[in-house]
Amino acid sequence: MCAAGNPSSSDPTRSPRVTIIIPTFRRPSLLQKCLVSCLRQIDIDPLSIEILVVDNSTEGSAATIVSETAYASAWNIRYVHEPSPGISNARNAGLSNAKGKFIAFVDDDEIVDERWLVNLLKTQIKSDADVVFGPVMPMMPSSRDDLCETSLKNLLIHSVEHPTGTEIASKLLVPFWARDGRAYPRLASGNFLIRRQSPNVSSLRFDPRLGRTGGEDDLYFNQMLVDGARFVWCAEAVAWEHVPPERLSLRYAIMRGFSGGQGVSRIPMLLRPKRPALTVLSMVVALVQVPTFATLAAANALTGSPRRYHYLIGMASAVGKLFWAAPLWKHRYGATGEENRGGHLDPV
């Protein structure tokens, strides 16, 4: 593990207020854009911030980009090489090496609004929350199938129509009949800020068992909620996610739906303490959903309705809820040279 940065960019005796962690895996051009967007933050003292890039490739492919960016920047940018494969290991290395009182995570395929960080911080200060989430919006290339593109866009948006300061709960932990006026976004790791000293946050880490299959962020956040952490929403702290053309396919959406369904049934069994009743509930609901979604998908396909994509993805999610055991987990992270995140469909 090694570090790189501009020695003149910060006072080594001064602890940063915020560490921005960017896990990366063989995506140099996207990482460069992400770094540039982080460096364009306004109303933020650069001396109070550090950027920590955690490279999960075995060869350390991001080192040159980080070094060159750090040399030319007034910000403190550090590089950590974590060769052990899996996004959980990369994120945990970031948590272990971060020096800030607050930690903000952003993915290497995202760019953030110029007031992203200050909005996260203002919301945390006002709410005194342990975790603040912001929306992640897709940047999608044009597709030949407009109807499929619309369905995929809805799948990839991580946002809710709630004002800043709304308390967040988990769809996985709260059955649909018990949900109230709180926000229920997808608890994904692409855009959030944590207060490092929160007792329900400080010692928790991402589960390495899920580092190459996905769902590690779902478990991480749901465990926080079980332990009593408070989450709030910040509508103004926006990040935009680059969506490559190969993801604009029904096959990808169905695979992602299946993975998401697996997570809904699997995560309760990994919580401490385990919650098998939630897994049983998920599977019972799925037994109703599979034939229902299959019928609706077929009916809408006959009429050419775009809703057929929605029901096909929903059916895939329901099947995943039934077939969630470990032998059926698929390794996605690191398999094709990029992180193919999956498993953030809304449980229904």
235 and 277 share a domain?
no
pLDDT of 333: 54
117 and 87 share a domain?
yes
Tell me which of 4 and 103 has the higher pLDDT.
103
pLDDT at 4 over 60: no
Residue 345 lies inside a defined structural domain of this protein: no
205 and 261 share a domain?
no
Question: What is the number of structural domains in the chain?
Answer: 2
Burial tier of 187 (Cβ tally within 10 Å: 0-12, 13-18, 19+): buried
Last residue of a domain, one of 247, 274, 301: 247
> CA separation (Å) from 194 to 18, 42, 123, 140, 200?
10, 20, 11, 28, 10
Cα angle 257-263-268, degrees, rounded to a multiple of 5: 155
Residue 13 lies inside a defined structural domain of this protein: no
197 and 216 share a domain?
yes
Q: Are 62 and 93 in contact (CB under 8 A)?
A: no
pLDDT-derived band at 167 (thresholds 50, 70, 90) equals: very high
SS (HEC) of 2-63: CCCCCCCCCCCCCCCCEEEEEEECCCHHHHHHHHHHHHCCCCCCHHHEEEEEEECCCCCCCH
DSSP state of 347: P
Last residue of a domain, one of 199, 224, 247: 247
What letter represents residue 280's amino acid? V
**pTM (predicted TM-score):** 0.90
What residues form DSSP beta bridges with 270?
Answer: none
182-195 pLDDT tens trace: 999 999 899 999 99
Residue 104 lies inside a defined structural domain of this protein: yes
193-248 pLDDT tens trace: 999 999 989 999 999 999 888 899 999 999 999 999 999 999 999 999 999 888 88
pLDDT at 68 over 60: yes
231 and 97 share a domain?
yes
240 and 196 share a domain?
yes
174 and 269 share a domain?
no
153 and 301 share a domain?
no
Contact partners, residue 224, CB within 8 Å, separation at least 6: 130, 131, 200, 201, 204, 231
Residue 344 lies inside a defined structural domain of this protein: no
Q: Which helix (H) or strand (E) holds 233?
A: strand 231-233
pLDDT of 92: 98
Residue 59 lies inside a defined structural domain of this protein: yes
139 and 280 share a domain?
no
203 and 321 share a domain?
no
Please provide the size of the chain in residues.
348
243 and 254 share a domain?
no
213 and 300 share a domain?
no
Alpha-carbon distance 223 to 178, whole Å? 19
> By residue range, what is the domain housing residue 199?
18-247
Last residue of a domain, one of 203, 221, 247: 247
Burial tier of 251 (Cβ tally within 10 Å: 0-12, 13-18, 19+): exposed
Residue 342 lies inside a defined structural domain of this protein: no
133-149 pLDDT tens trace: 999 999 987 655 555 66
- Joined tokens for residue 157: 């948006």
Mean pLDDT calculated for residue range 11-21: 75
* Best CA proximity match to 52, nearest among 1, 101, 105, 111: 105
